[in-house]
Chain A
Amino acid sequence: MLGALLRVAFMTAAAYRASFLVDVGVGAMTSVGVLLPLVFVYDHAAVIGGWTFHEALLVTGFFLLLQGLSGMLIEPNLSAVVEGVRTGALDYLVLKPVDAQLVASLQRIAPAKVWDLLAGGAVLAYGLHHLPAPSALGVLEAAGLLLAGLGAMYGLWILVICTSFWFVRVDNLRFLLSSVLDTGRWPVGIYQGWLRLVLTVVVPVAVVTSFPAMALLHRAQPVLVLQAAAVAVTLLGLSRLTWRLALRHYTSASS
Chain B
Amino acid sequence: MVAYRAEMVVWILTATMPLVMLALWNAAAAQGPLAGFGQAEFARYFTATLVVRQLTGTWLVWELSNMVRTGSLSPQLLRPLHPLSLNLAETLAALPFRLVVLTPIVAALLVWRPDIAFLPAPSTLLLTALSTVLAFLLSWLVQGLFGMLAFWLDQSVGLFSVWFAIYALLGGYFLPLPLLPPMVRDAARWLPFQATLAAPVEILLGTNGDPLEALAVQLGWVLVAGALAAWMWRAGLRRYGAVGA
Given contacts A26-B159, A41-B24, 14 further A-B contacts (CB under 8 A): A16-B154, A22-B153, A22-B159, A26-B155, A37-B21, A37-B24, A37-B175, A45-B31, A172-B7, A172-B10, A175-B11, A179-B13, A179-B17, A183-B20
| Listed stretches A189-197, A218-226, A227-235; interface member | A189-197
CA distance A111 to B116 in the complex (A): 45
Would you mind naming 16 contact pairs between A and B with Cβ atoms under 8 Å apart? A19-B155, A22-B153, A22-B159, A26-B155, A26-B161, A40-B174, A44-B35, A169-B6, A169-B7, A170-B10, A176-B13, A176-B14, A178-B14, A179-B14, A179-B16, A186-B24
Minimum CB–CB distance for A66 against chain B, Å: 15
Minimum CB–CB distance for B181 against chain A, Å: 7
B residues 75-118 near A (Cβ < 8 Å) are none
Residue B208 is within 8 A (CB to CB) of chain A in the complex: no
CA distance A219 to B161 in the complex (A): 35
Sorted nearest first, the 5 A-B pairs with minimum C-beta distance are: A33-B165, A190-B27, A49-B27, A44-B34, A26-B158
Residue B187 is within 8 A (CB to CB) of chain A in the complex: no
CA distance A185 to B168 in the complex (A): 15
Residue B183 is within 8 A (CB to CB) of chain A in the complex: no
Set of chain A residues within 8 Å of B35, measured between Cβ atoms: 44
The number of chain A residues touching the other chain, given as a range, is 35 or more
CA distance A178 to B7 in the complex (A): 15
> 0/1 per residue, A164-191, Cβ < 8 Å to B?
0001111111011011001101100111
Asked, given contacts A33-B169, A37-B174, whether A26 binds B27 with beta carbons under 8 Å apart, the answer is no
Closest residue on chain B to residue A31 by CB atoms = B165
Asked if residues B34 and A19 are in contact (CB atoms below 8 Å), the reply is: no
B residues 154-204 near A (Cβ < 8 Å) are 154-155, 158-159, 161-162, 165-166, 168-169, 174-175, 179-181
Residue A29 is within 8 A (CB to CB) of chain B in the complex: yes
Residue B4 is within 8 A (CB to CB) of chain A in the complex: yes
B residues 20-65 near A (Cβ < 8 Å) are 20-21, 23-31, 34-35
Asked, given contacts A33-B169, A167-B3, whether A176 binds B10 with beta carbons under 8 Å apart, the answer is yes
CA distance A45 to B17 in the complex (A): 21
CA distance A171 to B34 in the complex (A): 40
Asked, given contacts A26-B158, A30-B165, A169-B4, whether A190 binds B10 with beta carbons under 8 Å apart, the answer is no
Q: How many A-B residue pairs have C-beta atoms within 8 angstroms? Tell me.
A: 105
> 0/1 per residue, A45-84, Cβ < 8 Å to B?
1001100000000000000000000000000000000000
Set of chain A residues within 8 Å of B158, measured between Cβ atoms: 22-23, 26
Residue B2 is within 8 A (CB to CB) of chain A in the complex: yes
Set of chain A residues within 8 Å of B162, measured between Cβ atoms: 26, 29-30
Asked if residues A169 and B3 are in contact (CB atoms below 8 Å), the reply is: yes
Closest residue on chain A to residue B153 by CB atoms = A22
CA distance A9 to B30 in the complex (A): 47
Set of chain A residues within 8 Å of B23, measured between Cβ atoms: 186, 190-192, 195
Minimum CB–CB distance for A194 against chain B, Å: 11
Residue A43 is within 8 A (CB to CB) of chain B in the complex: yes
CA distance A45 to B32 in the complex (A): 9
CA distance A178 to B3 in the complex (A): 20
Set of chain A residues within 8 Å of B25, measured between Cβ atoms: 41
Minimum CB–CB distance for B214 against chain A, Å: 22
Residue A98 is within 8 A (CB to CB) of chain B in the complex: no
Set of chain B residues within 8 Å of A189, measured between Cβ atoms: 27
Asked if residues B165 and A32 are in contact (CB atoms below 8 Å), the reply is: yes
CA distance A167 to B31 in the complex (A): 46
Set of chain A residues within 8 Å of B31, measured between Cβ atoms: 45
CA distance A162 to B186 in the complex (A): 49
Asked if residues A186 and B20 are in contact (CB atoms below 8 Å), the reply is: yes
Minimum CB–CB distance for B15 against chain A, Å: 8
Asked if residues B10 and A29 are in contact (CB atoms below 8 Å), the reply is: no
Asked if residues A175 and B14 are in contact (CB atoms below 8 Å), the reply is: yes
Asked if residues A23 and B155 are in contact (CB atoms below 8 Å), the reply is: yes
Set of chain A residues within 8 Å of B155, measured between Cβ atoms: 19, 22-23, 26
Residue A36 is within 8 A (CB to CB) of chain B in the complex: yes
Identify A170's interface contact among B6, B29, B175, CB under 8 A: B6
